[in-house]
Chains A and B, each alone.
Chain A
Amino acid sequence: MATFRIKRYNPEKQPEAYYEDFDLDIPSGATLLDCINLIKWTKDGSLSYRMSCRSAICGSCGMKANGHALLACQRQASSLLDKDGTVTIEPLGNMKPIKDLVVDFKPFWEKIDRIKPYLQPGEEPPPEKERTQSPEQFRLIDDTSTCIMCGNCYSDCNTLEVDGNFLGPAALAKAQRFVSDSRDQNTHERVRELSKPGGIWDCTHCAECVERCPKPARPFYRIKEIMTVALEEGVHNNNGARHALSFTRSVKASGRLNENQLPVESMGYFNIKGLLELVPVGLRMLLKGKIPPIIHKSIDDVKDVKRIFKDLKQ
């Protein structure tokens, strides 16, 4: 007998959410969705959640099991039980609950909308037949185009938890779909927009979205691909790009990070307002004795680092 501890919420009845335990014998081979359906259909019809295809392609049944987002239809229920035979089910995070496991997807879709999620093929009329695209060019958008918009990455994104303005992993993965599409003529404008606050450079590289993605879309890898294109396109006039470039320069030159130079270069030498904002942080670090050494030294084997950079360039 397994216990499904489900977070219940119905503001029509009471304002606070609570947990309710349902005991169930898991049928052989049953997915988490099969079990939740059994609970709804045999124990409590008022339990609300979304589901449709049950084959991991529609993206409806995203929810949290034991604190992490997953597709309920994609996972065997028995694999989710802890030592006591319990699994805790909660709604997706970073979105407002509506009822039980149903959350409000409005902000999710608004952010998808913000990245102009459609091909911009330019003014020229299309050819009579298909535009050609080589298998190699197809491969650049193969993984991103598997996204099913389930919101699992959005739910568990650590940046979104503190910064509601962040576009989030799903919208950025969708953006890469067009940034890297050989048929799209608006790459430069796209990466310029995506380099603004709330865009690619606000990602903290925790890669939680890669862990939670039920498909090969893996948003963080797509974000890194946009960063590369942005730098190649010369879109450097923003803190994120300057940070990345300063980071690279420092490591290339000395084999280690120059932590005094990095924040200044990230802000930009002529960004007086930004530089002034660094002053209080610097002072606090000074008081706590956390200022890095003023004189920056190279590591002993800096030659090897330079060789790696040289190899990479080739």
Chain B
Amino acid sequence: MIEHDVVIVGAGLAGMRAALEVCRDLDVALLTKVYPSRSHSGAAQGGIAASLANSEDDSWEEHMFDTVKGGDYLSDQDAVEEYVKSASRVIYELEHMGCVFSRTPDGRIAQRSFGGHSRPRACFSADRTGHAILHALHEQVMKNSRSIKVYSEWFMHSLIIEDGQCRGVVVSDVRTGAVEVIQAKAVVFATGGYGRAFQITTNAFASTADGVLAAFNSGIPLEDAEFVQFHPSGLYRQGILFSEAARGEGGYLLNGLGKRFMEKYAPERMELAPRDIVARAEQSEIDAGRGVNGEDFIHLDLRHLGEARIMERLPQIRQLGIDFISVDCVKEPLPIQPTAHYSMGGIPTDKFGAVVMDAEGTRVNGFFAAGECACVSVHGANRLGTNSLLDAVVFGERAGRSALEYAKSVASPSVNESREKTRVLSQFEEIFQREGSESYNDIRNEMKVVMTAKCGVFRDAESLAQCIEKIKALQVRYKKGKVTDKGRLFNTELYEIIELGNMLKMAEIISTAALARKESRGGHFRSDFPKRNDVDFLHHSLVYPSDGDGLELKTKPVVITRHQPAERTY
């Protein structure tokens, strides 16, 4: 059995920031199913928000209001307040660590405009901000290698919780297939999102709900799962991300008639309205037959920015267009469509990063979560661009500190190693023994298609019921899949099968929560209930596992402090 004081699962921004906190006093295992530098945080492009006021006046109060309004008043405002107040400090700390930022002429961190933010507060490193921060944190992790042991290419299978106390995780080494138990006094999850459940998504192949499902399988509810953000600028058909920074720098959205259609949907903020509004506007244009050439895409036009500006501020986007579709955005507009991007929901935590079980905020001893896998909730029903990197850093630090304090206060818990290992080994065996003829590829594709079509930008009771029915049928077929690789060595097929199982469950949870929320708020839009309904639905949702394979829905109140819910227009 492997023993550490604290084990952190996931080595993106939140996980590494947490590790740097824990390693001040204790020994920490940092586990990732890829390598730290391959984490999906690195794909974030446009920026990280903070009211530094480096290019015009700004304040945390304005950042807070923008965040709460952007989240359609579902954010917990006590958490938002502490979050935006921490922003400047954590960004200065990243800068001190060595993070590379674009600069103003007088050498301060440059800031630009972003959707839903009333001030230019996105600090950035050209159009690779996530990458810059990820590598800066990775550098610090390498510097602290004496107290942080990195387990690259290890997969986390399950969480060990006994008598209300978290005791470690069951993991396996992808390279050898060996199953191990890591015993720890505290566990931090920073496992990211689950966008791979959708056909069109910006998410990496690794974003497959392993963390949230491991928590769920331990009896922990998932909060606000129905709120999935669709990003307005995904590359047509592929879904990969073209940063919102393209619009922040002044890019236009054009429909098939060559018209800037946002004036119809958000006359004041135009292309810089929050993502939920822009994504719905795009989909409405496409659905009305006003896509380009009548097809399912619209245009992102950057030509008027000029080559020099594009090369200085958006070089990666230009290269992506050239490499992936042979379109140079200096000369031609880019074809884009809405794409599943971010999960506002996740493992419920308090504002200190401690996982909570219920509406009363009862903590699970020794279990913490941060980043996209967690739901604090600061983003409410819709996250503003550049607020996620900030979330990962602020709550990564907080979860790390909470885990550190907790771990220092308790003795090593006991773990029944053989029982825990046997559970995972028998899961492997069960998969290897499947004699079915179903193709996992078909099952995965059908899940992704139905989630995008029936549980996407627009949803209604009928589409969601169809979606749930289809997902349940796929779950049955999943048990009869055909396995080709039964070896131990770097068996990526085995891990893809396990990930698919997790995503099928997650898809059911998302669509079930979406069916229950009979209103439209932020990223969740019900065509049959197109208005926000604060009387019946101003609450978070909690989905619990119930007997057998069932789901049980509960609610949790929203914390409202400074800003009473108001009409949301841009």
Q: Give the interface of A toward B (CB within 8 A).
A: 10-13, 29, 31, 40-42, 44-46, 48-60, 74-76, 98-100, 102, 105, 112-113, 117-119, 121, 126, 128-135, 137-138, 141-142, 145-149, 178, 181, 183-184, 216
CB of B131 within 8 A of CB of A148, answer yes
**Could you pull out 20 A-B pairs where Cβ atoms are within 8 angstroms?**
A12-B489, A29-B325, A41-B441, A48-B490, A49-B492, A52-B38, A53-B40, A53-B204, A54-B205, A55-B43, A56-B320, A57-B128, A58-B204, A60-B38, A105-B35, A112-B142, A118-B143, A133-B101, A134-B107, A135-B105
How far is B238's CA from A293's CA once the two chains are assembled, in angstroms?
63
Enumerate chain A residues within 8 angstroms of B143, measured Cβ to Cβ.
Answer: 117-118
Check: B315 CB closer than 8 A to any chain A CB: yes
CB of A141 within 8 A of CB of B38, answer no
B37, chain A: closest CB distance, angstroms: 5
B487 interface neighbour in A13, A50, A118, Cβ under 8 Å: A13
CB of B109 within 8 A of CB of A57, answer no
Residue of A nearest to B315 (CB): A216
Counting residue pairs across A and B whose Cβ atoms lie within 8 Å, the total is 164
CB of A118 within 8 A of CB of B488, answer no
A208, chain B: closest CB distance, angstroms: 20
B489 interface neighbour in A49, A98, A129, A132, Cβ under 8 Å: A98
CB of B489 within 8 A of CB of A10, answer yes
Check: B434 CB closer than 8 A to any chain A CB: no
Enumerate chain B residues within 8 angstroms of A183, measured Cβ to Cβ.
Answer: 98
Check: B206 CB closer than 8 A to any chain A CB: yes
B142 interface neighbour in A40, A102, A118, Cβ under 8 Å: A118
CB of B142 within 8 A of CB of A98, answer no
Enumerate chain A residues within 8 angstroms of B10, measured Cβ to Cβ.
Answer: none
B52, chain A: closest CB distance, angstroms: 8
| Most chain B CB inside 10 Å of its own CB: which residue of A11, A117, A145 | A145
As a 0/1 sequence over residues 108 to 144 of chain B, the CB contacts with chain A under 8 angstroms (1 = contact) are 1100000000000000011010011001000110110
CB of B485 within 8 A of CB of A45, answer yes
How far is B444's CA from A219's CA once the two chains are assembled, in angstroms?
39
The 10 closest A-B CB pairs, nearest first, are A119-B98, A132-B107, A45-B484, A46-B485, A41-B441, A118-B139, A45-B493, A55-B240, A126-B96, A99-B490
Check: B97 CB closer than 8 A to any chain A CB: yes
Residue of A nearest to B325 (CB): A29
| A46 in contact with B493 given A29-B237, A59-B37, A130-B109 (CB within 8 Å) | yes
How far is B238's CA from A145's CA once the two chains are assembled, in angstroms?
26
Check: B42 CB closer than 8 A to any chain A CB: yes
CB of B323 within 8 A of CB of A75, answer yes
CB of A10 within 8 A of CB of B487, answer yes
As a 0/1 sequence over residues 5 to 28 of chain B, the CB contacts with chain A under 8 angstroms (1 = contact) are 000000000000000000000000
Check: B491 CB closer than 8 A to any chain A CB: yes
Chain A interface SS verdict (over half): loop
For chain B residues 350-404, which have a beta carbon within 8 Å of chain A? none
CB of A131 within 8 A of CB of B95, answer yes
Q: Give the interface of B toward A (CB within 8 A).
A: 34-35, 37-40, 42-43, 52, 91-92, 95-98, 100-109, 125-126, 128, 131-132, 135, 139-140, 142-143, 145, 175, 202, 204-206, 237-238, 240-241, 315-316, 319-320, 323-326, 439-441, 444, 483-485, 487-493
How far is B324's CA from A126's CA once the two chains are assembled, in angstroms?
42
CB of A117 within 8 A of CB of B139, answer yes
Task: Known A-B contacts: A46-B487, A60-B38. Give 7 more (CB < 8 A).
Answer: A12-B488, A46-B485, A46-B491, A52-B204, A53-B43, A54-B240, A129-B52
A193, chain B: closest CB distance, angstroms: 16
CB of A54 within 8 A of CB of B142, answer no
Enumerate chain B residues within 8 angstroms of A50, measured Cβ to Cβ.
Answer: 34
B152, chain A: closest CB distance, angstroms: 8
Enumerate chain B residues within 8 angstroms of A60, measured Cβ to Cβ.
Answer: 34-35, 38
Enumerate chain B residues within 8 angstroms of A113, measured Cβ to Cβ.
Answer: 142, 145
B40 interface neighbour in A51, A58, A146, A149, Cβ under 8 Å: A58
How far is B418's CA from A56's CA once the two chains are assembled, in angstroms?
41
CB of B142 within 8 A of CB of A55, answer no
| A98 in contact with B206 given A57-B42, A138-B103 (CB within 8 Å) | no
How far is B484's CA from A94's CA once the two chains are assembled, in angstroms?
30
Enumerate chain A residues within 8 angstroms of B315, measured Cβ to Cβ.
Answer: 216
CB of B139 within 8 A of CB of A119, answer yes
| Most chain A CB inside 10 Å of its own CB: which residue of B101, B204, B325 | B204
Enumerate chain B residues within 8 angstroms of A56, measured Cβ to Cβ.
Answer: 319-320, 323
CB of A58 within 8 A of CB of B92, answer no
CB of A59 within 8 A of CB of B100, answer no
A109, chain B: closest CB distance, angstroms: 8
CB of A133 within 8 A of CB of B103, answer yes
Enumerate chain A residues within 8 angstroms of B96, measured Cβ to Cβ.
Answer: 121, 126, 130-131
| Most chain A CB inside 10 Å of its own CB: which residue of B52, B92, B103, B441 | B103
How far is B441's CA from A178's CA once the two chains are assembled, in angstroms?
45
How far is B99's CA from A181's CA once the two chains are assembled, in angstroms?
11
CB of A52 within 8 A of CB of B107, answer no
B422, chain A: closest CB distance, angstroms: 23
Enumerate chain B residues within 8 angstroms of A75, measured Cβ to Cβ.
Answer: 323
Enumerate chain B residues within 8 angstroms of A49, measured Cβ to Cβ.
Answer: 492
How far is B125's CA from A61's CA once the two chains are assembled, in angstroms?
24
Enumerate chain B residues within 8 angstroms of A41, measured Cβ to Cβ.
Answer: 439-441, 444
Enumerate chain A residues within 8 angstroms of B325, measured Cβ to Cβ.
Answer: 29
| Most chain A CB inside 10 Å of its own CB: which residue of B39, B132, B324 | B324
How far is B205's CA from A13's CA once the two chains are assembled, in angstroms?
28
A130 interface neighbour in B108, B324, B488, Cβ under 8 Å: B108
A145 interface neighbour in B39, B106, B132, Cβ under 8 Å: B132
A205, chain B: closest CB distance, angstroms: 26
CB of A52 within 8 A of CB of B40, answer yes
| A145 in contact with B125 given A52-B34, A53-B204 (CB within 8 Å) | yes
Enumerate chain B residues within 8 angstroms of A40, measured Cβ to Cβ.
Answer: 492-493
CB of A130 within 8 A of CB of B92, answer yes
CB of B492 within 8 A of CB of A48, answer yes
How far is B439's CA from A44's CA once the two chains are assembled, in angstroms?
12
CB of A134 within 8 A of CB of B34, answer no
How far is B34's CA from A99's CA once the two chains are assembled, in angstroms?
16
B95 interface neighbour in A29, A130, A137, Cβ under 8 Å: A130
CB of B37 within 8 A of CB of A99, answer no
CB of A132 within 8 A of CB of B487, answer no
| A135 in contact with B205 given A10-B489, A55-B240 (CB within 8 Å) | no
How far is B245's CA from A245's CA once the two chains are assembled, in angstroms?
46
B59, chain A: closest CB distance, angstroms: 16
Residue of B nearest to A116 (CB): B143
CB of B440 within 8 A of CB of A141, answer no
How far is B489's CA from A46's CA once the two chains are assembled, in angstroms?
10
CB of B37 within 8 A of CB of A148, answer yes
Enumerate chain B residues within 8 angstroms of A100, measured Cβ to Cβ.
Answer: 490
B521, chain A: closest CB distance, angstroms: 30
| A55 in contact with B40 given A46-B493, A60-B34 (CB within 8 Å) | no
Enumerate chain A residues within 8 angstroms of B131, measured Cβ to Cβ.
Answer: 57, 146, 148
How far is B102's CA from A137's CA once the two chains are assembled, in angstroms?
10
Enumerate chain B residues within 8 angstroms of A12, measured Cβ to Cβ.
Answer: 487-489
How far is B90's CA from A129's CA once the two chains are assembled, in angstroms?
10
How far is B42's CA from A50's CA once the two chains are assembled, in angstroms?
17
Enumerate chain B residues within 8 angstroms of A129, measured Cβ to Cβ.
Answer: 52, 92, 108
CB of A58 within 8 A of CB of B323, answer no
How far is B241's CA from A55's CA once the two chains are assembled, in angstroms?
8
CB of A59 within 8 A of CB of B38, answer yes
Enumerate chain B residues within 8 angstroms of A11, measured Cβ to Cβ.
Answer: 489
Enumerate chain B residues within 8 angstroms of A137, measured Cβ to Cβ.
Answer: 103, 107
A142, chain B: closest CB distance, angstroms: 7
Residue of A nearest to B44 (CB): A57
